[in-house]
């Protein structure tokens, strides 16, 4: 116990891989291979900086990434320790409140929903669209492939492998107009072997609705701001699971690596399938994106869901589902039952947008834009509302999660927010306080403070 | 019996309504109101022309429209007689062969599928698209309405009312990326009150798949080249029906008016719902389009399905479902469960395309184009293959139905057609002959004869 670890890594300062990532990958690998054992202590930041002759910030970045992914832990005044990735403690609190959003009964355009209106290069999109529409190769006069155009499936597969750490081929990719449509196809594909599904609670309701429609029995797995209850999952007689490990929706947790591995082990033991909803895993502000579960999976049991709605444009409808290799045959059997739901033209435009490198620039740009908004938002909360608001999660994606002290009824809060055109999701309700998810992607940077003031008037 | 009818209509030669339509509407109204009774005889074409002082062709056009819709009958050498629209004889033949298409296991681009490649004004679409994409009013940065953009719902409602004889309001219109997605929403909406559905056999398989997915019990109602078996429908303990009355898919029948009215009466008696698939009812070559069932319905029990895939562009994905007023409340209850699946941008472009009158010009243009192809196709069959091929249906839409004498196995025919990139659907199989549905929309006019020769080599 408490054994001190020595680093034996040779950092390559001429590599294109940033130093902090080299260090992070080195430590991660040692933990996975059980060379760095549970409870062992890492060098302090100052020590590591001195040993490796790099800056303290670089060490901190690497350590923070490992913390957020659950590989290590920072124990206050003691230092950084390796977590037991085989046997992690998780909270067993059960949360019976069903999260509810102010959008449920309203068709308003919310000020804070949508995407930043400077993020999308409409001129470039136009140019590509015009090119594709009259390019003979597109052949807009015929039906598209039910699975999606090969060019786009190829680009998405490369994209997920490079940016999200996936391990996929174009044959595994299915394109569709939204996650819901794709889940419908999946349900049609697997319903003979699976009749129940376990879903995070609170979680992504729109996925749950589809499983309900397809008559799956729904099990709710409690999630709180600590973590996801795997014990509860194991007691259930169900081998299909829907999770959002990179950024739990709506609470915002990152699922620690030990839980990820435990989930994959569970799936392999019960011959199960894990549906990984990676709705905004690509956008993290501190450190790199958390690699997806799909890329960790050695047993071919993860179904990966991604979308371009938030990262590119919500008015386009392009989502994708990446199925395990073992399901390809089942998909082939039902493929011609379903018509493609995404415009063939949009598919080819997007494939060019990725192929010609625009997506990479675009992602860099939006990360910058949303980080600025995120910082402005959290700073203003901390400066002006630190007596009543505690920020729980704000390190990735397009919403933050806060705990607010309030005596108002949640119904009244939803009503007032609706009137004020503010989209909020009440994640949990406690005596005198509440857990809220607040979307900020659509607010202009100069309106952040007035938005927060309006929100706080509606809430407290 | 055999009572001769006198016309008491005053035709308005200055009206914008063509004379033959005035006459057709007059006769239809007299029949519906039981002023012209069953078995009564209409004036001969020559007599009518002389009485009304209009050309024989005009009379013929009016009569033909009434025949195709089932109001009257032409008995050879005897004349034109009013049908009993309350008690029509229909065939009870049952057809156990399940229609099968060469596309079922193939992702080829078929030469004969798709639309005419000169029919779509890509330059105009580009211009509208470019305008919409950067128009602030579009607000491409936010999610679209789950029901569909109001502007498009308004235009579609007007369009269906004007061109298809519907009686609809924008509140009843739901937009989605394909009929299948919309049927999924419908299934989610009504599954608590309906658990089985009756479907034409042969019929539109892709609709059936969705009902199967949603665990509806499926009843097959036999359809042959005479008609649809309503007696069979009435014996079933099901009050949900899926039909294509304007142009039965794939056989190509027009459902006679008496059957339409009988269907509506049935629905009203059993508190049922009729789903009317009007996939290509807009395109008829001889006479006007058959008015849709939705417009005849006085009991608010018809769900109308339409699409722009064949009439505009298959690579866009814009379809619509028009629900009865009594279902609006059920829809409102589930509306926010489903994300919109059609691109908001495409929706607004299409609404402009309709609003600015382009759709009317476009429909005139494609009717001309496809009529030419249709004529070339049927003439060539009649000229060269009249010993083996009999044309069963060719008066509307994008496919014709033929009876072919052949000794080949249908499996071999499908295989050969697939190899030759020809999409055919084998509708029925008899000893030494077959009923085939042949799509011709995608064949260039100058290739019609070589297409037919290739097809006939594959078949016989």
Sign of CA dihedral B199, B201, B207, B210: positive
For residue A207, CA distances in Å to A221, B101, B215, B382, B448 come to 14, 33, 19, 54, 48
Q: Which fold has domain B361-459?
A: 3.90.1150
**Three-state secondary structure call for residue B206:** helix
pLDDT at B93: 31
Question: What DSSP element (H or E) covers B108?
Answer: none
Confidence (pTM): 0.85
CATH class, range B19-82: mainly alpha
Nearest to B142 among A114, A125, A143 (CB): A114
- Name which of B90, B201, B126, B93 is nearest B427 in CA terms: B201
Cβ(B282)–Cβ(B307) under 8 Å?
A: no
**How many residue pairs from chains A and B have C-beta atoms closer than 8 A?**
180
Cβ(B289)–Cβ(B163) under 8 Å?
A: yes
- Which residues does chain A have within 8 Å of residue B146's beta carbon, measured at their own beta carbons? 107
Work out the average pLDDT over B65-73.
Answer: 83
Low-confidence stretches of chain A (pLDDT beneath 70): 1-2, 86-111, 225-226, 287
- Name which of B157, B433, B439 is nearest B320 in CA terms: B157
Q: Where along chain B do the CATH 3.90.1150.10 domains lie?
A: 361-459
pLDDT at B187: 93
Cis peptide before A202 (omega within 30 of 0): yes
Across the strands, what pairs with B241? B198, B274
CA-nearest residue to A211 within chain B is: B214
- Residue identified by tokens 């919409």 is B132
Nearest to B114 among A116, A141, A338 (CB): A141
pLDDT digits (tens, 9 = 90+) for B134-147: 888 778 898 889 99
Cis peptide before B202 (omega within 30 of 0): yes
Paired tokens of B439: 């799509």
Interchain contact, A314 vs B141, CB within 8 Å = yes
B179-190 vs A205-213: helix axis angle to the nearest 10? 80
Cβ(B38)–Cβ(B79) under 8 Å?
A: no
CA-nearest residue to B118 within chain A is: A141
- Which residues does chain A have within 8 Å of residue B337's beta carbon, measured at their own beta carbons? 205-206, 209
Determine phi and psi for A432, rounding to 5 degrees: 65, 5
Paired tokens of B320: 């619509």
- Which residues does chain A have within 8 Å of residue B336's beta carbon, measured at their own beta carbons? 103-106
Cβ(A305)–Cβ(A321) under 8 Å?
A: yes
Cα distance between residue A101 and residue A413, in whole Å: 10
Taking phi over 0 as left and psi of -120 to 50 as alpha, with beta for the rest, B324 belongs to beta
Interchain contact, A315 vs B343, CB within 8 Å = yes
First to last CA, chain B: 48
Paired tokens of A452: 């927060």
Most A CBs within 10 Å: which of B183, B213, B333, B351, as the mutation test of the A interface? B213
Paired tokens of B303: 């769900």
Identify the band that residue B251 occupies on the pLDDT scale cut at 50, 70 and 90: confident
Task: Name the DSSP letter for residue B436.
Answer: E
Interchain contact, B213 vs A340, CB within 8 Å = no
- Name which of B220, B363, B203 is nearest B281 in CA terms: B363
Query: Is 3.40.50.300 the CATH classification of the domain at A122-356?
Result: no
Work out the minimum CA distance from A92 to partner chain B, whole angstroms.
30
Work out the average pLDDT over B8-36.
Answer: 86
Interchain contact, A315 vs B143, CB within 8 Å = yes
* Cβ neighbour number for residue A346 with a 10 Å cutoff: 28
Sign of CA dihedral A211, A213, A218, A220: positive
Nearest to B341 among A104, A133, A181 (CB): A181
Work out the minimum CA distance from A201 to partner chain B, whole angstroms.
17
Work out the minimum CA distance from B365 to partner chain A, whole angstroms.
16
Paired tokens of B84: 């009993």
Paired tokens of B126: 């580009």
pLDDT digits (tens, 9 = 90+) for B149-199: 999 999 999 999 988 989 999 999 999 999 999 999 999 899 889 999 999
- Measure the CA angle with vertex A275, ends A274 and A280; round to 5°: 130
Work out the minimum CA distance from A100 to partner chain B, whole angstroms.
12
Cα distance between residue B275 and residue B30, in whole Å: 28
Cα distance between residue B355 and residue B128, in whole Å: 12
Nearest to B339 among A110, A122, A206 (CB): A206
pLDDT at A223: 87
- In chain B, the percentage of residues whose pLDDT exceeds 70 is 93
Q: Where along chain B do the CATH 1.10.10.10 domains lie?
A: 19-82
- Name which of A242, A234, A240, A238 is nearest A209 in CA terms: A242
Question: What DSSP element (H or E) covers A335?
Answer: none
Nearest to A316 among B117, B146, B343 (CB): B343
Nearest to B206 among A103, A178, A337 (CB): A337
* Cβ neighbour number for residue B306 with a 10 Å cutoff: 28
Cα distance between residue B114 and residue B288, in whole Å: 24
Cis peptide before B250 (omega within 30 of 0): yes
pLDDT digits (tens, 9 = 90+) for A113-148: 788 989 999 999 999 999 999 888 778 898 889 999
Paired tokens of B388: 């083996």
Q: Interface pTM (ipTM) of the complex?
A: 0.83
Interchain contact, B339 vs A126, CB within 8 Å = no
Q: Given a cut of 80, is residue B225 above it in pLDDT?
A: no
Interchain contact, A142 vs B109, CB within 8 Å = yes
Work out the average pLDDT over B410-428.
Answer: 89
Interchain contact, A343 vs B126, CB within 8 Å = no
Task: For the sheet with B173-176, list strands across it.
Answer: B173-176, B319-322, B302-307, B273-277, B240-243, B196-201, B217-222
- Measure the CA angle with vertex B178, ends B203 and A194; round to 5°: 80
DSSP B262-283: HHHHHHHHTT-EEEEE-SSTT-
Maximum alpha-carbon separation in chain A: 68
The more confident residue out of B380 and B226 is B380
CA-nearest residue to A117 within chain B is: B141
pLDDT digits (tens, 9 = 90+) for B375-398: 999 999 999 999 999 999 888 889
Q: Given a cut of 70, is residue B106 above it in pLDDT?
A: no
Cα distance between residue B394 and residue B396, in whole Å: 6
Interchain contact, A141 vs B115, CB within 8 Å = yes
Cα distance between residue B64 and residue B24, in whole Å: 9
Work out the minimum CA distance from A328 to partner chain B, whole angstroms.
14
User: Cα B159 vs. chain centroid, distance in angstroms?
Assistant: 15
Q: Which residues contact B49 (CB under 8 A, 6 or more apart)?
A: B55, B56, B58, B59
Cα distance between residue B243 and residue B220, in whole Å: 11
Q: Which residues contact A70 (CB under 8 A, 6 or more apart)?
A: A83, A85, A88, A254, A255, A256, A257, A258, A259, A260
Rg, C-alpha atoms of chain B: 23
Burial of A394 (0-12, 13-18, 19+ CB in 10 A): buried
**Three-state secondary structure call for residue A124:** helix
- In chain B, the percentage of residues whose pLDDT exceeds 90 is 59
Cα distance between residue B212 and residue A453, in whole Å: 51
User: Cα A300 vs. chain centroid, distance in angstroms?
Assistant: 20
- Which residues does chain A have within 8 Å of residue B316's beta carbon, measured at their own beta carbons? 343, 345
Q: How many residues does chain B have?
A: 460
- Residue identified by tokens 């705990």 is A403
DSSP E strands: which ranges in A90-195?
100-101, 173-176
Interchain contact, A133 vs B114, CB within 8 Å = no
**Three-state secondary structure call for residue B73:** strand
Strand-strand pairing, B273-277 and B302-307: parallel
CA-nearest residue to A347 within chain B is: B315
Task: Name the DSSP letter for residue A3.
Answer: P
Alpha carbon dihedral A19, A25, A31, A33, in 10-degree steps, equals -130
């Amino acid at each position: 116990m408490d054994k001190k670890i020595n680093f034996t890594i040779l950092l390559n300062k001429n590599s294109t891989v940033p130093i902090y990532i080299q260090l992070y990958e080195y430590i991660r690998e040692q933990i996975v291979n059980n060379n760095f054992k549970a409870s062992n202590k890492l060098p302090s930041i100052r020590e590591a900086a001195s040993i490796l002759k790099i800056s303290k910030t670089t060490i901190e970045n690497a350590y923070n990434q490992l913390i957020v992914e659950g590989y290590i832990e920072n124990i206050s005044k003691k230092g950084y320790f390796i977590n037991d990735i085989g046997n992690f403690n998780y909270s067993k609190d059960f949360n019976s409140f069903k999260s509810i959003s102010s959008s449920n009964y309203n068709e308003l355009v919310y000020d804070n929903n949508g995407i930043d209106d400077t993020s999308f290069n409409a001129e470039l999109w136009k140019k590509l669209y015009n090119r594709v529409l009259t390019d003979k190769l597109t052949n807009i006069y015929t039906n598209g492939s039910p699975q999606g155009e090969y060019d786009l499936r190829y680009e998405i597969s490369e994209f997920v492998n490079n940016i999200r750490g996936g391990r996929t081929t174009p044959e595994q990719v299915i394109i569709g107009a939204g996650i819901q449509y794709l889940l419908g196809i999946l349900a049609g594909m697997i319903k003979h072997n699976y009749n129940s599904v376990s879903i995070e609670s609170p979680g992504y309701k729109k996925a749950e609705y589809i499983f309900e429609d397809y008559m799956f029995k729904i099990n709710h797995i409690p999630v709180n701001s600590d973590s996801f209850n795997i014990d509860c999952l194991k007691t259930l007689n169900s081998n299909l699971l829907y999770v959002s490990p990179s950024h739990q929706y709506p609470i915002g947790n990152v699922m620690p690596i030990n839980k990820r591995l435990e989930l994959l082990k569970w799936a392999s033991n019960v011959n199960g399938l894990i549906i990984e909803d990676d709705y905004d895993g690509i956008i993290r502000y501190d450190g790199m994106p958390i690699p997806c579960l799909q890329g960790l999976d050695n047993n071919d049991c993860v179904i990966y869901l991604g979308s371009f709605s938030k990262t590119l444009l919500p008015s386009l409808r392009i989502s994708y589902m990446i199925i395990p290799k073992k399901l390809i045959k089942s998909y082939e059997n039902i493929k011609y039952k379903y018509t493609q739901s995404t415009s063939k033209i949009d598919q080819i435009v997007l494939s060019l947008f990725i192929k010609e490198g625009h997506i990479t620039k675009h992602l860099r740009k939006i990360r910058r834009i949303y980080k600025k908004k995120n910082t402005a938002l959290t700073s203003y909360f901390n400066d002006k509302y630190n007596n009543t608001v505690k920020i729980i999660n704000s390190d990735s994606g397009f919403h933050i999660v806060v705990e607010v002290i309030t005596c108002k009824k949640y119904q009244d809060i939803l009503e007032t927010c609706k009137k004020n055109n503010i989209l909020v999701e009440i994640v949990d309700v406690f005596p005198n306080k509440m857990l809220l998810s607040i979307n900020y992607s659509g607010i202009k940077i100069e309106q952040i403070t007035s938005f927060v003031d309006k929100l706080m008037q509606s809430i407290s």
